[in-house]
Amino acid sequence: MLAFDADPVLREARSIADERRRVRRALRSATGHDEAAEHRADLASLDARLAAILDDPDNRELVDRALVERARVLRLAVAARRERTARDATLASAHAIVGRAVAAGRAPTASEGVRVRELRAAAGAESQRGWRSAITSAERRDGVLEALGALRLREAARQLRGGLLETAQMRGIISEALPAVLRGDPVLLVGETGGAKTALAEHLSRLAVGGEPEFVSGYGDITGAQLIGTHELRAAGGATVSVFVPGPLLRAMTEGRPVILDELNAMPAEFLKRLNRVLQLRPGDAFGVQEDAGREVRIASGFAILATANEQTPHRYRGLDRLSAELVNRFGANAYRVHYPDTGLGYDGFPVENALLATAAVVDRRGELPPGLGVDELFRVARAAFISQQVFAGEHGEGFGDYVSTEREIDGRPGLEEAVLAPRTLVAILQKVAGSAGTVTLDHALTRFVEGVMHREDRRVLALILQGQGFRIG
């Protein structure tokens, strides 16, 4: 295969084509006559350079052959991707059959069971499509893999824009927790800060009802009245009347929507005692609204409670209380620990999920990186993020001792007390760099992040981790 980086002529032609695309985008967004004229002049210059290359018959033949091969590779990659998409859709159909039965509170019928087995068998069957036989060389194979990687990046970027990068861990939790949400059972997501617990809860809610959930933040002195509803004075017919205004929990019950209780262990103990009873309710049950003179409402289908909570780690997450065993037991088997990406990988391993997250955070809709951010930088910051996450979580794998003081290691404390380059933080830093049009380097953005850490020892450890990956901090 003639790759566009394998020959100087092809490299130049591709460079010109890439710049033409950037100039054309700039021209479409030009706001003034002078700016537009400048872009048109640049475009004309690029067209002339490309025409000069193609005037040579040998160069034109070389480019034409490369374009033909590139088109063939893209068709093979699209065929492979469609096969994967069809397999996923088949599995989704099987899950939907089970989900409908679960939502109705019944077991699947015999015919539904047969259909589910057929669909799962079809999804697992070896493909009979002919695209594999068209891969006749190592170069073409590598080209297809590269194209599939670009497609995966575009998909990952789209997922991230939607709120959640669907890693293997996330897909596993979704497949198990979604039937519980459909039944109306409460679900608890526990994990360290910035690990996408809230994003996962929102994603589950949207999958369950196809709409937005109610949302309650645990921070602050929230009361049962704020959650369920309260009376307000309103003007009506020249008089002042007391009107009951439903809160987010009651709206979710009556409208058939999930409610997310974010940071459950930051909520007051008095509120959690009231919540104990609510966690036992399911769609179809009646709920007596004490705040509205005991008025009874019937809980609509689609209602469920999804709660998030931070890990109970000493010296961390000030203002959080330990959840009682009674409260946790209300969630039954529907409590899931949400780990940081790549958890379980050795400190010397390559963090695939963090690297995918880092790249998806900055690629454009074509799957291409912005100017000024290279693959090497992204892989290095992904490794730094992975190491910080494992040190923060106290994963005592091979290499942990390089980032933790002897005193902390003896005490069994994590190497980072309060700060971590969590997935959420990693995305924010990279998007700041990508959105700066080259004015902010990744070294500078990471330095700003470290300087903003209040804990002195954490600043030292984070700087050590980042410098170990070749970043200039300070």
CA nearest neighbour of 357 among 182, 147, 196, 138: 196
> Helix H segments across 361-441?
375-393, 406-411, 423-434
| Highest mean pLDDT (candidates 3-7, 270-274, 315-319) | 270-274
pLDDT tens, position by position, 161-209: 999 999 999 999 998 999 999 999 999 999 998 999 999 999 999 999 8
Is 122's pLDDT higher than 70? Answer: yes
Q: What is the model's pLDDT at position 256? A: 94
Averaged pLDDT for residues 412-430: 85
Distance (Å, rounded) from C-alpha 152 to C-alpha 158?
Answer: 10
Is 53's pLDDT higher than 50? Answer: yes
Is 4's pLDDT higher than 60? Answer: no
Averaged pLDDT for residues 294-320: 80
pLDDT tens, position by position, 217-246: 886 677 777 888 888 888 777 788 888 888
For Cα atoms 157, 163, 168, give the angle at the middle one, nearest 5 degrees. 70
The contacts found for 81-89 with CB under 8 angstroms, 24 or more apart, are: 81/148, 81/151, 83/127, 83/129, 83/131, 87/123, 88/123
Mean pLDDT of the chain: 85
Residues 6 or more apart in contact with residue 128 via CB below 8 angstroms: none
CA nearest neighbour of 129 among 173, 81, 74: 81
| Termini Cα distance of the chain | 46
Structure tokens at 473: 């901090």
Residue with tokens 């194979």: 141
Q: What is the model's pLDDT at position 399? A: 60
Select 185-338's CATH number: 3.40.50.300, 3.40.50.1970, 1.10.275.30, 3.30.2130.10. Answer: 3.40.50.300
Coil, strand or helix at 307: strand
Is 30's pLDDT higher than 50? Answer: yes
Q: Which residue has the higher pLDDT, 332 or 213?
A: 213
Q: What is the model's pLDDT at position 412? A: 47
Q: Which residue has the higher pLDDT, 131 or 41?
A: 41
* 224, amino acid identity: G
Averaged pLDDT for residues 386-407: 71
Averaged pLDDT for residues 291-320: 80
Distance (Å, rounded) from C-alpha 98 to C-alpha 101?
Answer: 5
Coil, strand or helix at 218: coil
Handedness of CA 77, 173, 427, 340 (dihedral sign): negative
Is 407's pLDDT higher than 50? Answer: no
Coil, strand or helix at 340: coil
Q: Where in the chain is the domain with CATH 3.40.50.300?
A: 185-338
Report how far Cα 462 is from the mean position of its chain's Cα atoms.
23
Q: Which residue has the higher pLDDT, 340 or 22?
A: 340
Q: Per-residue DSSP letters for 96-120?
A: HHHHHHHHTTSPPPHHHHHHHHHHH
Q: pLDDT > 70: what percent of the chain?
A: 91
Q: What is the pTM of this model?
A: 0.78
Strand 295-298 and strand 286-289: the pairing is antiparallel
Is 113's pLDDT higher than 70? Answer: yes
